[in-house]
Every structure is written in structure tokens, then in C-alpha cells.
Structure 1
Amino acid sequence: MISSLRLRLLLWLLIPLTLYIGVSAWLAYLSARDTADLIQDRALSTSAQVIAGQLGWIDGSLHVSVPPAALELFASPDRDEVYYQVITEHGRLLAGIPDFPFAAPFSAAAPTYRNAVLGGQPIRVAKTIRTMYDSGVPHRVAILVGQTRRGHDRMLAELWRPSLHRQVAMLALTVLLAVIGLTMELRPIIRLKDDVAGRDPMELAPIRAGDLHLELRPVVDAINLCIQRLHTQVAAQKRFIADAAHQLRTPLTLLDTQIQFATQLDDRAAVADVLDAMHNSSRSMIDLTNKLLLLAQAEAANTAALLRQPVDLVAVSAAVLEELAALAQRRDIDLGLEADPSPVWVTGNAGLFSALVMNLVDNAIRYIPSGGKVTVSTHRRGQAAELVVLDNGPGIGAEARARVFERFYRHAAPGQEGTGLGLAIVKEIVAASQGAIELAAGPGGIGLAVCVRLPLAAPSNRGT
């Protein structure tokens, strides 16, 4: 298969053009042949009529004399040979050669023409009939004149070959101009190729279309869209690495300090206290690492890198509440679920939806006083699934609600645990699912209500 675009375009141009020139050359040949035939036929017919004019009666018998003028019509540099025959309908030969290859049909009065072979040479024959009367009795006489085809063929070549040469020259000129045109028109594509190939691997600036053809600009737009996606992905990775390095530096430094301090202690009780503090630091660092990894996974989902499938939001909510029941019980929190009796299907990643509910409910449990209440509601609302986490805690002021989705922003009392990543993770998961999230005060202005709306899965994509 031909892989060169220039050659393929040239073939698409040359194939129909060659067919056109071939058909045109054949039609020109037929026209030239008809013209040469017409000229030769007229000369033959004129000669036959001159001979027919020399027929006469002598002593009651038909005679003919062939004048030189009848044969001088065929004088040419090609030295064609001329044959003739004058014969009556009764087979009496009046003049000419006896073995003429063309038998004269005496029924036709109009001149007729045909091709024949005489002495191994092709000839063209014209035949005319003249009726002679003797005492009112008609006698038909056939006059046949034939000529070899050398002059005819030369005339045909002179008429046809110049046209053929012009058409071949036109084809060659078309090929030359097409090659030059394609070379010039493909230069913007070659420059685009050089621009892309010569870029630094980390250069993510959009490609300029420049003088690229209008039909090819969508290709540049698609490349730029891909570059934009890569830029977003690279920026997210850089932000993740920077956040991870910044946030892990403090607990690692603290852990290293605790280890150095423990090596200087001789009191076993003091060492035990330091080990307990080190355990708390290690657990905090593990929690932070898990949150950072979950945030990276949520960002990947926002770029459609994870498999999407139908997920029952009711089942996910019930599983998360079952997992957090022990924590709620330790903190004396009334944890409840209100949900539709039938599944509420959404499209996405089950693990991320579980992390979404987990972070919302975990935040509510950790930041409300002991004896509080947390209620999770999962319902279908029109064409959307609605997940609401309601608590009766201190809530979040209106001025801080816009900032709680920022990474590492913590709206908590001093001494309360947390990484500041929970709601940032929730926001990324909701964005990846084409949903929306809203914070509002609870009923009567008490507590916080977090409402997440997600599009329902299409009926054909829902589970059984």
C-alpha cells in the first residue's frame, strides 16, 4: 500500500486524467481515420465516375476507354497502386483486371465503399453502377476503382499524431505542475511536523496554525487539545508532588526529631512516651499519605483515566455508614441513613464514590460535639441522584464555605485532627462525575448540610 500522501494525491489526479487523455486520443484517432477515409473515398468515387463517363456503344457493343485523367487523381509521393475494373452485369470484362476482390452488387445504384485485400496488400475500393440503354433495353455496368492504403495511412498519421503529441505533452505538464504544486502546498504540513518533532518534551505551549490550510487546522486544534490535556495532567502531577513534599516534610522532621530524642533517653517510661508520640506521628503521616494518594486518584478520574461503571449510591452509603458505625459509637454520635428503597444508579468509580461519602461522614463525625447527630440521605430527585450529609454541629460560616474546598485549608478548632484534604478530595470526585456540591446551614440555621447532586446513569448502563 502506498504510504506517501504526495504520491497518493498525484495518483488520484493522474488516473482520471490519463483515462480522459486515452479516451480523447482514441476519439481523435477515429475522427482522423474518418477524415482520411472520406478524402480517399471521394478520390476513388471521382475516378469511377470519370471512367463511367467514357462508356459507349460501338457497333452494338459496349466499350470503354480509361483516360489518364481518371488515374492521375491518385498521384502522390506515397506511390500507391491503383486498380480498376469495368464489368457488365453478365460478367463481360470491359477493362481492368479480371481478379478484382470485390464482387459488384448490381442492385445498388449509389456509390459504395469497402476495404479489401489484393496481392497481399490492403486496398480501399469504390464502386459505382451506370445503366446503358440499347434500343430501350437497360444494361448495367459496374465500375470499381481500388487504391492501396499507404497515402491514407500517412494522412491518418498526419491528422492524428499532432493531437496525440499535444495531449501527451499536456499530461506531462500536468504531472510536473502537480508535483510542484503538491510540494509547495505540503510545506506547511512539513513545517508542522518539524515544529512538533523539534519540541522539548516538556514544552506544552499550543502549536500555531500559521499558514496551514483550512482543512488541516482541525488537526492542529486536536493536537492543541491534547497538549492542553497533557498540560493539565502535568500541572496536577506537579501540584501533587509539591503538596506531598510540603505536607510530608513536617511529620517526617518531627518523627526524626523524636527518634533522636528517644536515643538520648535512659528512662524507660520517658522512652515509652516518646514511642507513643512517634506512633501518633506515624499514624498521622499514613493518614496524610492515604489522603494524598486518594486526591491523586480523584484528579485522575477528573481526566477520564479511570474506568466508569454503574454504581448504586444507596449501597455505597450503607457500606460506608456500616464501616464508620464503630467510630460514631465511640464518639456517642447518632449516625443514620435515609434512602430510597430501590437502587439509585450513578456512573463512576465505586471506590471514589465510597471515598466521597466516607470523607463527608467522617468530617461530620469528627467535627461535631459528642452526643450529636449525623444523617445521610440518598434519594433520586428527577434526573439526578442527591446525597445529603446533615449534622447538628457548629457548622461552617458563610464566609468560609468557599475556602473549605481548598487543599490543606482546615476550618477546625485547635487540637482537632485533620489533614485539610477531605473536602478537596470530595470536590475532585464530584467534578469528575459531572456533578455539583453545595454547602448550606442545617434546619433552623443549626449544623451543616452538604448536598451532592450527581447525574443518574442511563437506563442501559444501570446494574441489575
Structure 2
Amino acid sequence: MLLLMASAAITYLGALAYSNRIHDRNLVDSAMALAQLLNQLPAGEKLTAQARFLLEYDPYGRNYFSIRSMRHGLTTGSDELQPPAHSPLPDRPAVLYDTVLLDRKIRVASLVLPNRYEPSDLLTVSVAETLEDRRRRAREILLLTIPTQTALILAVFALVWFGVNYGLRELQPLTERLARREHDLAPITDADVPEEVQPLTRTIDGLFGRLHSMLNLQERFIADAAHQLRTPLAGLRVHADRLQRLQSAEETADAIGQIQRLVERASRSTSQLLSLTRAQSTQVHDLADQTINLSSLIPELVGLRVHEAIAAGIDLGYESDAAAAWIHGSPTQLQELLDNLIDNGLRYAGRGSMVTVRLSQAMGEVLLSVEDNGPGVPSAYLSQLGERFFRVPGGGGDGSGLGLAIAQRIAEYHGAALRYHSASQGGLIVELRFPASPPGREHEPG
């Protein structure tokens, strides 16, 4: 119905414009015919009553005409019909204009011609008609086209109805395949998928892929949690049973100490598992959207770990030759990355050793490294650093083997290359190379 109404309105406006054009042409022809008639009348003779009747006759209203002399005024016709405001030049085409006569809008055609009986005089010939006949013709055209338009709209409606139903039937094989699935997240785009809906199915395939990655991440977290918490929980049960049998205060204190260490280990494993899962999730991409000056951020983060280094008997230091080192990244994730690298040094370097954090910039890269002078890592195991739960055989310490894996994932999401080297005087160097960014607004640590 809305389409029919819009079509009817457009048709009526078009028909009215066409009717106006035809009537304007006829009005100009009438004005020219009246001018020719004046040139043929003998001197002093006026229009006959029959001619006046024909000029004024209109079956749906009334027409008007006037002949005005520049010297003598109105010679014949309607006195109410005024000449145009700007009189046309003699022997030029007629001008058309709208005016109001007796509270009715009319259309007028006027032209000027010399008075052949008085060469110094000019005659203005005007012929006018009401607008009723124009509108009537437009309505007639509209009424003729409405049935055709209605039939066409109904035909299009039926065609669309059939096309939609037929198109949906083409999706039936895909619908049946999806209905038979339970836990299968494989792509659904196949040979039976119509080309028109393949953009939709490819989008669904992308969603399935992301969902599959999330489920794999969840399953891996559950497996990792079971792997990491099995030993502490078993130890807790053993020492709890032991407490029930012990009677001496020394043995009781030792069992409680063992339980405390196991609880700390379980707590640390749980925290690192959560950190690893967070680093593996795609949400890191959403966080890495700030321009950060590492020359301001890294000293602040190193300073937060000084008290732990003092308690562990380790000299923790910071060196930098970069006045400003800008990268794109997440301050929270970078803090977690640096904490894990420093923690790795504090745990395995040993008392009396040094752990040094260095920052520099060269050739479009920002270099961040953490070096210790501890026992180091045999070269045969350097390639395995960063794997989950990997711990160097005989390395000691009570780590979970997740710290470097967390650092590896965070570095990947920041577009940084992470490498491991043996220090020249023993120990381990963990090196990160970030792509440098243009300077931005200074980030306030914390």
C-alpha cells in the first residue's frame, strides 16, 4: 500500500506537469490566434459575440481574454484581467505567468504586437484560463494508471514471495547439517552452500574458529590446573595426615611449615595459570592500544621489586641510555611480563648474584633485556625456554615453569621478538626487541 501510494503521488505529479505543458502550449496558440484575428479585422470593427463566446468558453470553468491599447487602454475583453508586470517586447514570443482573478488562480499568456491602424500604438493581447481542466486531466491519467500499478505491485509481491521461499529451500541442506551437529565446530561452508549466503557462512566459520580457540583455552587451563595443583594437594594431604599422628612440637612446626610452603606453591601456580590464560586470550589485543614511554615505565616497575631483591640477597639494578623509548602496548601486560622476567632471575640466580634490567633504542627498535650472573642455562636447553611447565633439569628453585611462557605470549601479542642467550660470564640474558613507535602522550605509571 505504501508503494502504491508513493507511485500514485509520483504519477499524479508527472501527469500534472505534462498537462500543464500541453495547456501552456494551447494557451500560447490561443493568444497568437487572437493576435492574427486582430490583424485581419477591418478598421474600427470589434470581435463578434460568437468569437468572444469561443474565447471564453470552457466546459469546466471559464476562460478570459483582454486586448489593451497602450494609448487607449482596454479595447475589449475582461477588465479584471491585468497585463503582466513586465510587458514583453513587440513581435516576441508570448510570456506565461500565474495570477489571481476573482479569487481563482489562473494561467495567462500575453504578447505585444503593433497596432496596424496606429503605428505609434502597441496592443497587449492576453488569454487566460483556470487551472481546473489541468488538474482534471492529471486525475484522469492517475485513475487510468492505478489499476496497472496495482497489478504490477501484486505481481512483484508474488514474485518476491516465491523467490524468498525458493531461496530458503536452497538452505535446507545446510540447515539439516547444522541440526545434526552436537559439539562439532568445523567450518560449515561447503559445496551445498549457495554462493549468495557464503559471506554469512564464512562469518559463522570465523565465529566457530574463535569459539573453538576459547574452548581449547578452557580445556588447556583445566588440564594445566590439574597438572600443577596435583602435587601440592597431594603434599597437603600427606602433611595433614602427618600432623594428626605427630606429638612433638618440633615435628608439628615442621609439618606446618611444609603445609605453608605447599599452599604458597599452589597459590603461585594458580596465579600464574590465570596469567598465562589471560596472556593467551585475544583480549590482549584490545589492551595494547596505548603509546608508552618505556624510559618512564620500566624504572618504576623495577623499583617495585627492589625490596624482594634485597630480601633474596640479590643486587637488582637498572641501566638505560635511551632518553625516550616509545612503543605501543598495554602497561598492565608489560608489568606482568617484566615481573616474570625479574622473578625468574630472583629465583634462579642465587644469593649474592646480580640481576640487571637494561633499556636501549637503535634502528627503529626498543631493546629491553634482563641479565643475571647466576648459574645460567645449558645451551642445549635454551631453545626450550618459554615452553609451558619446562624447568631446566637440576636448576633448583620452586618455580612452576610458567613465568617465561607468560612472558613469551605477552611479547608475541606486542609484536616483540623474545630471545634467550647465555651471558659471557655465566648467567642468562632474556632479550626483547619491540618495534618503536612515534612519540605520544606520556603514560603515567601505576
Counterpart in the other structure of 1:416 = 397
Paired AA for residue 103 in structure 1: Q
Aligned equivalents of 2:251 and 2:174: distance in 1?
A: 69
Partner of 1:177: 159
Q: Is the 8 A contact 2:334 2:410 kept in 1?
A: yes
Distance, in Å, in 2 between the alignment partners of 1:90 and 1:343 is: 102
Contact (CA 8 Å) 1:385, 1:453: kept in 2 or not?
Answer: yes
Measured after TM superposition, the shift of residue 420 of structure 1 is 0.5
Contact 2:369 2:430 in 1 (8 A): yes
Q: Is 1:259 the equivalent of 2:240? A: yes
- 1:391 match: 372
Structure 2: how far apart are the matches of 1:115 and 1:90? 15
Is contact 1:262–1:271 with CA below 8 Å preserved after alignment?
Answer: yes
Equivalent residue letter for 2:417: A
Is residue 2:189 matched to residue 1:208? yes
Residues 236-282 of structure 1 show CA distances to partners (whole Å, capped at 9, x for unaligned) of: 12111110112101110111111101101122222222222222222
Describe the SS at the equivalent of 1:304: helix
**Which of 255, 260, 273 pairs up with 2:254?**
273
1:400 maps to: 381
| TM-score relative to the length of structure 2 | 0.63
Match of 2:230 among 224, 249, 261: 249
Paired with 1:286 and 1:460, the residues of 2 have a C-alpha distance of 38
For residues 24-43 of structure 1, what are the structure 2 equivalents within 5 Å?
A: none
Q: Is the 8 A contact 1:337 1:376 kept in 2?
A: yes
Task: Give 1:392 shift.
Answer: 2.9
CA contact (8 A) 2:276 2:405 kept: yes
Could you report, residue by residue, the CA deviation over 1:207-250 in whole angstroms, capped at 9, with x for unpaired residues? 32643344x43333233222222221221121111101121011
Native 8 Å contact 1:314 1:378 kept in 2: yes
CA distance in 1, matches of 2:314, 2:146: 99
Q: Indicate the residue corresponding to 1:367 in structure 2.
A: 348
TM-align CA RMSD: 4.4
Counterpart of 1:449?
429
Report the equivalent of 1:358: 339
Which among 390, 401, 420 is matched to residue 439 of structure 1?
A: 420
With structure 1 as the length reference, what TM-score do the two structures score?
0.61
What's the CA shift for 1:342? 3.4
Instruction: Find the residue that maps to 1:409 and give its secondary structure.
Output: coil
1:239 aligns with 2:220: yes
- 1:218 is matched with 199
Q: What per-residue deviation string (whole Å, max 9, x for no partner) do you get for residues 22-63 of structure 1?
A: 789x59x98xx99xxxxxxxxxxxxxxxxxxxxxxxxxxxxx
Matched, 1:293 2:240: no
Q: Is the CA contact (8 Å cut-off) linking 2:8 and 2:146 kept in structure 1? A: no
> AA paired with 2:51?
A
One-letter code aligned to 2:428: L
**Given the superposition, is the C-alpha separation of residues 442 and 233 from structure 1 closer, same or farther in structure 2, using an over 3 Å criterion?**
same
Report which of the two structures shows the higher radius of gyration computed on alpha carbons: 1
- Per the TM alignment, residue 360 of structure 1 is displaced from its structure 2 partner at its CA by 1.2
> Matched residues in 2 for 1:244 and 1:428: separation?
18
> Which residue matches 1:338?
319
Question: Do the aligned residues in 2 keep the contact of 1:302 with 1:428 (CA within 8 Å)?
Answer: no
**Contact 1:302-1:433 at 8 Å conserved across structures:** no
> How far apart are the structure 1 equivalents of 2:172 and 2:6?
28
Matches within 5 A, 1:24-173: 103-104=50-51, 116-117=58-59, 168-173=150-155
Q: Which is further off, 358-367 or 324-333?
A: 324-333
C-alpha contact 1:339 1:379 (8 A) present in aligned 2: yes
Give the share of equivalent positions with the same residue, in percent: 29
For 1:452, the aligned partner's letter is: L
Higher mean displacement: 238-247 or 271-280? 271-280
Deviation at 1:402, TM superposition (A): 2.6
Distance 1:15 1:194 in 2: 42
3-state SS, counterpart of residue 416 of structure 1: coil
Question: 1 CA distance for matches of 2:277 and 2:142?
Answer: 79
Residues 218 and 270 from structure 1, CA distance in 2 versus in 1: closer, same or farther, beyond 3 angstroms? same
Q: Deviations over 1:328-359 (max 9, x none)?
A: 44554343211245343433333321221121
**What amino acid does structure 2 have at the position aligned with 1:204?**
L
Contact 2:365 2:436 (8 Å CA) reproduced: yes
- Which letter maps to 1:348? G
CA distance in 2 between partners of 1:341 and 1:411 (Å): 34
Aligned CA distance change for structure 1 residues 162 and 352 (closer, same or farther; 3 Å): closer
SS in 1 for 2:383: coil
Q: 1:347 to 1:253 in 2, by over 3 A?
A: same
> Quick one: which amino acid aligns to residue 304 of structure 1?
H
Q: Deviations over 1:359-404 (max 9, x none)?
A: 1122123323544332211123344322111223343344422322
In the superposition, relative to structure 1, how do residues 393 and 222 fare at CA in structure 2: closer, same or farther (>3 Å)? same
- Local SS of the residue matching 2:382: coil
User: 2:164 & 2:12 partners in 1: Cα distance?
Assistant: 24
Partner SS for 1:449: strand
Distance 1:381 1:229, change over 3 A: farther
Looking at structure 1, the residues matched to 332 and 179 of structure 2 have their Cα atoms a distance apart, in angstroms, of 40
Structure 2 unaligned spans of 5+? 24-45, 62-139
Partner of 1:41: none
Find the aligned partners of 1:192 and 1:272 in 2 and give their Cα distance: 67
Deviations 1:254-312 (Å, cap 9, x if unpaired)?
11111101101122222222222222222222221221122222223655365754444
3-state SS in 2 of match to 1:362: helix
Cα distance, 1:361–1:193 mapped onto 2, change above 3 Å: same
Deviation readout 1:420-445 (Å, 9 max, x if unpaired): 1111110111122222211223347x
Instruction: Provide the C-alpha distance between the structure 2 equivalents of 1:324 and 1:317, rounded to a whole number of angstroms.
Output: 11
Q: Find the residue that maps to 1:452 and give its secondary structure.
A: strand
